[in-house]
Amino acid sequence: MLTCKQQVARSSDYLDGQLSFRERLLVRHHLMFCPNCRRFIKQMRLMSATLKKLPEPLPTDLEQTVERMMRERSR
Ligand SMILES: [Zn+2]
């Protein structure tokens, strides 16, 4: 089983679909047993979905904008 650190190192590749079948299974397996990493992956997924929706050019208050969008989504 992966450690949380190994899991985190793979998470962006996991979300991008860049992992091999075997690695993906390892990540899934870890996520099944680790609520912390599940939450982390969920946040990363939300974050990347949110970033894709941002208008161009990027606002200067990017962080606040992302935070606001994430807050609105979680309602
Ligand atoms: Zn974990």
For residue 54, the model assigns a pLDDT of 78
Tell me the average pLDDT across 57-66. 75
* C-alpha 15 to ligand 1 mean position (Å): 15
- Between CA 13 and CA 7, with CA 23 as vertex, the angle to 5 degrees is 65
* C-alpha 19 to ligand 1 mean position (Å): 17
Q: Is the pLDDT of residue 75 over 70?
A: no
* C-alpha 61 to ligand 1 mean position (Å): 31
> How many structural domains is the chain composed of?
1
* C-alpha 40 to ligand 1 mean position (Å): 9
For residue 17, the model assigns a pLDDT of 92
DSSP alpha helix (H) spans, the chain: 4-16, 21-33, 35-53, 62-73
Comparison of pLDDT for 72 and 62, the residue scoring more: 72
For residue 59, the model assigns a pLDDT of 65
For 69, the domain range is 4-73
- Between CA 15 and CA 62, with CA 65 as vertex, the angle to 5 degrees is 80
The string of pLDDT tens digits covering residues 17-56 is: 999 999 999 999 999 999 999 999 999 999 888 888 877 7
